[in-house]
Amino acid sequence: MSLGRVSRHARTRVIAVVAAVCALSAAALAPQAVAGGGALPYSEAFRPQFHFTPEKNWMNDPNGLVYYKGEYHLFYQYNPHGNVWGDMSWGHAVSEDLVHWKELPLALSHDDEEMVFSGSAVVDRNNTTGFGSRKNPPMVAIYTSAYREGGKQAQSLAYSTDRGRTWTKYQGNPVLDIGSTEFRDPKVQWYAPTKSWLMTVSLSTEHKVRFYSSRNLKDWNLLSEFGPAGATGGVWECPDLFPLAVDGDENNIKWVLVVNINPGGIAGGSAAQYFVGDFDGKKFTAEDKGTYTPPGGTVVQDFEGADFGTWTTTATAFGGGPAAGALAGQGGVGGFDGKGLANSFHGGDGATGTLTSPVFTVGSPYLNFRVGGGRHPHESGTVMEQGPPPAGTVIADFEGGSYGDWTKTGDAFGAAPATGTLPDQQQVSGFLGDGLVNTFLKGDSSTGTLTSPEFTLDKNHVNFLIGGGNHRAGSDNPTAVELLVDGQVVRSATGRDAEALDWASWDVGDLAGKKARTRIVDDNTGGWGHLNVDHIMLSDAKARPVSSETSVNLIVDGEVVRSATGADSETLDWTSFDLRPYLGKQARIQVVDMNTAGWGHILADQFTEADKPAKSVLQRADWADYGKDYYAAVSWEDAPGGKRYMIGWMNNWDYAGSVPTTPWRGAQSVPREMALRTIDGQVRLTGKPVAALDSLRRKSPATAAGVTVKSTAQPLIGPAAQGRALDIEATFSLEDAERFGLKVRTGTGGEETVIGYDTTTQELYVDRTRSGAVDFHSTFSTGVQTAPLKPTNGKVTLRVLVDWSSVEVFGGSGEAVITDQIFPDPAGQSVQVFAENGSVKLDRARVWHLGSYRE
């Protein structure tokens, strides 16, 4: 649990198969209505069916995972008061099989002094604490006290003597306090060789894990530290340490240290990193993976000259030539080669500009380079400068000193439009003329609505300028612009936690001729609880937003076809563009800084044409999951048979507060059985769904076998394989297809989630860019998630778990796992198998429908 998160809230083709199949119902499970509107609990459109969710309110990190008296306990970070982050407490659920869960009352509550951040739980069988007895040993929770005053974080205890149903906080809290505001998430276990308790806890911003020892859970002694190591782009959180046998050999035990990182994960944002090594009772030592040497090649720009040579600049951000390192006001810059690099911090984060190469002919398979600076990805459809509005009809420009015949409620809008930045507000920019709507009138504490008169939708688009807070319509406390037709919200948009206004656009062609109103809503009193709006208009053309990227782009035929961004770090790291689709084409490299906010700069160096891709620190690190939505992963203690089961929060801090679910927000992954396996000569942590998940399979599977697919995509099996909650197993034999796999939750309008295998890169991938609702946050749909996966004897094996709002993909022996949320149309339930640019053989596929964990 990171206080950094708080600040972010405050300051997203086969031939038809002929096979014997078991007829399974694929009817849509529509939400069931209840009196007074809404839907019955657990039947809402995106409600997971076999992933645990609380009935209502916000949930994040799993906590306190322990097995005791026939029950697996799942505690979790929980807000008792709403479905946004806040008032962190421990929710509680139990299960006898890690599949069927029962939600219990709140376990540990926040209070006026502290929030209850992440931690662990143990069964104190020897009553070392004195909280119970040997006959009735206490369960003890070790959690982080996040003190409201001053922000200090320290480790505290609570105990239960009734199987975790009621809890008492220890009067001697905290039991471990080093005076830090970044010291959290203790994982505690009994370490038998020393007959003592072992704590693994994070020094988050230092990218370190500390190990402590105690005889009684109250008095702790420092043993050692580990880190920094591996990926360090964000804070380290929720560590876990446990032993596993390699390839099932009990005589070959290695230790696994899991360190969750946010941001800076392999797919962007949050992720679960791990290290394999040894633990001697005091110190963890990771296996030495050696030094990294990138592939050789032809250097096309190394920025070692006095100027940029034939590369051209615009504006001022890149200065008159390469930088020699850090610039005035900048932190230390590292990771570049030689004496120079491109650095857009000239003038600080407020300056913008571009640095562009001459046109060249693509002649190598890869372009490798180093990149650093801000993490602001390129977004398609953006422009470099805000041009004039498209031609059309202005509904409101908020000029003239009044709101005219618009209707107000509340106190957020004042008597008249604002003329720019308000007191105590950061600078507001990007509006047109002299007036705009700005609900920061009394700071973030004011609320209200502003509603337009009725107008006719007689053009294809509604365009408007918007800035301010990112709190989507439909959430508990939105800051949003809404389009109302017949009194219902049919379109909405929100800000991006930035004061600069930028164009947003709604396609309303399907609403032609209807009467509508525009409503501006500020119902948020927290951080970024305000909205800036201007120049609402009807037009047949879509307004194009201005870029806010800090990126390196490859431009072919005038379009950005490859892009990379920094990791909010002044240390440059290797990345690579795959140029193979563009061999022989004319291209340009463009380094872009269009961002004026925090980390609003970009660093680049050592552009090299090469035959093989360079790998970044992220790509060289080890990951328990390569998707965007697996974080705070920790494991159960005391599981029967010495098994090691792990679960993660199925979300990402980039957009966790914006996902379109209500009245709950947050889900847990399927629990996974973890193992260490030797794969391609390297010991890897693998995961597979717990065996008890099979108990949710309904009837016999629909099956297909021996089907050759060539450059097409068609239904897999047919209606029997359709559904919103599916368990799919598929084995493919490689032929000559470049890419192949499955498409799930396919529907009208091109909706699909693509689960594929790229034979050219030997990578498993998930593409959710067309998976349904993807526009609620700018980072939700960016990129395709990939995981390295080599074929085994010419075959690729997949297991895919499809739920109402997620996919979990397990490749091979579980060494390649990708977990992603999706929010598709409930009617989109088809499954397809596909092959691109060649053929693949589907050896066998089996599809089960899955029931609910509440059944």
Q: Inform me whether the pLDDT recorded for 151 exceeds 70.
A: yes
Q: Inform me whether the pLDDT recorded for 26 exceeds 60.
A: no
- At residue 466, the pLDDT reads 96
3-state secondary structure of 330: coil
Strand runs (DSSP E) across 557-644, as ranges? Answer: 559-565, 569-578, 586-593, 602-610, 622-623, 631-635
Is residue 32 very low, low, confident or very high in pLDDT (cuts 50, 70, 90)?
low
Q: What is the pLDDT of residues 450-498, one digit of tens each?
A: 999 999 999 999 999 999 998 888 777 899 999 999 999 999 999 988 8
- At residue 476, the pLDDT reads 74
Q: Inform me whether the pLDDT recorded for 36 exceeds 70.
A: no
Lowest mean pLDDT segment, chosen from 313-322, 467-476, 620-629: 467-476
- At residue 15, the pLDDT reads 25
Q: Inform me whether the pLDDT recorded for 185 exceeds 80.
A: yes
Q: Is 429 exposed, middle or buried (0-12, 13-18, 19+ CB in 10 A)?
A: middle
Cβ-based neighbours of 488, under 8 Å, separated by 6 or more: none
Query: Higher model confidence: residue 27 or residue 270?
Result: 270
Q: Are 110 and 116 contacting, i.e. CB atoms less than 8 angstroms apart?
A: yes
Which residue in 78, 72, 109, 110 sits closest to 91, CA to CA?
78
Lowest mean pLDDT segment, chosen from 25-34, 281-290, 328-337: 25-34
Lowest mean pLDDT segment, chosen from 9-18, 336-345, 500-509, 527-536: 9-18
Q: Average pLDDT of 621-636?
A: 98
Q: Inform me whether the pLDDT recorded for 20 exceeds 70.
A: no
Q: Average pLDDT of 361-387?
A: 91
Q: Inform me whether the pLDDT recorded for 30 exceeds 70.
A: no
State how far the Cα of 63 lies from the Cα of 240, in Å rounded to an integer: 11
| Cα-based angle 805, 811, 817 (whole degrees, multiple of 5) | 55
Q: Inform me whether the pLDDT recorded for 93 exceeds 90.
A: yes
- At residue 6, the pLDDT reads 36
Q: What is the pLDDT of residues 807-846, one digit of tens each?
A: 999 999 999 999 999 999 999 999 999 999 999 999 999 9
Is residue 3 very low, low, confident or very high in pLDDT (cuts 50, 70, 90)?
very low
Lowest mean pLDDT segment, chosen from 15-19, 172-176, 471-475, 656-660: 15-19
State how far the Cα of 104 lies from the Cα of 164, in Å rounded to an integer: 10
Q: Are 828 and 722 contacting, i.e. CB atoms less than 8 angstroms apart?
A: no
What proportion of the chain, given as a percentage, has pLDDT over 90?
86
Q: What is the pLDDT of residues 761-792, one digit of tens each?
A: 999 999 999 999 998 887 898 879 999 999 99
Is residue 750 very low, low, confident or very high in pLDDT (cuts 50, 70, 90)?
very high
Q: Inform me whether the pLDDT recorded for 4 exceeds 60.
A: no
Rg (CA), the chain: 27
Q: Average pLDDT of 105-120?
A: 98
- At residue 344, the pLDDT reads 98
Tally of CB atoms within 10 A around 332: 8
Q: Average pLDDT of 68-91?
A: 96
Q: What is the pLDDT of residues 579-624, one digit of tens each?
A: 999 999 999 999 999 998 889 999 999 999 999 999 999 999 999 9
DSSP output for 13-48: --PPP------------PPPB-TTSSB-TT-STT--
Give the 3-state DSSP-derived string for 177-235, with helices as H, strands as E and coil as C: EEEECCEEEEEEEEEHHHCEEEEEEEEHHHCEEEEEEECCCCCCEEEEEECCCCCCCCE
Is residue 21 very low, low, confident or very high in pLDDT (cuts 50, 70, 90)?
very low
Q: Are 499 and 466 contacting, i.e. CB atoms less than 8 angstroms apart?
A: no
Active-site positions read: 61
What proportion of the chain, given as a percentage, has pLDDT over 70?
95
Is residue 639 very low, low, confident or very high in pLDDT (cuts 50, 70, 90)?
very high
Query: How do beta strands 208-214 and 196-203 pair?
Result: antiparallel
Q: Inform me whether the pLDDT recorded for 25 exceeds 80.
A: no
Query: Higher model confidence: residue 482 or residue 24?
Result: 482
Q: What is the pLDDT of residues 57-79, one digit of tens each?
A: 999 999 999 999 999 999 999 99
The overall average pLDDT reported for the chain is 93
- At residue 19, the pLDDT reads 28
State how far the Cα of 227 lies from the Cα of 566, in Å rounded to an integer: 22
- At residue 366, the pLDDT reads 96
Q: Is 738 exposed, middle or buried (0-12, 13-18, 19+ CB in 10 A)?
A: middle
State how far the Cα of 391 lies from the Cα of 766, in Å rounded to an integer: 40
3-state secondary structure of 696: helix
Token pair 């911003």 is found at: 205
State how far the Cα of 831 lies from the Cα of 801, in Å rounded to an integer: 12
- At residue 297, the pLDDT reads 97
Q: Inform me whether the pLDDT recorded for 306 exceeds 60.
A: yes
Q: Inform me whether the pLDDT recorded for 17 exceeds 80.
A: no
Lowest mean pLDDT segment, chosen from 29-33, 158-162, 186-190: 29-33
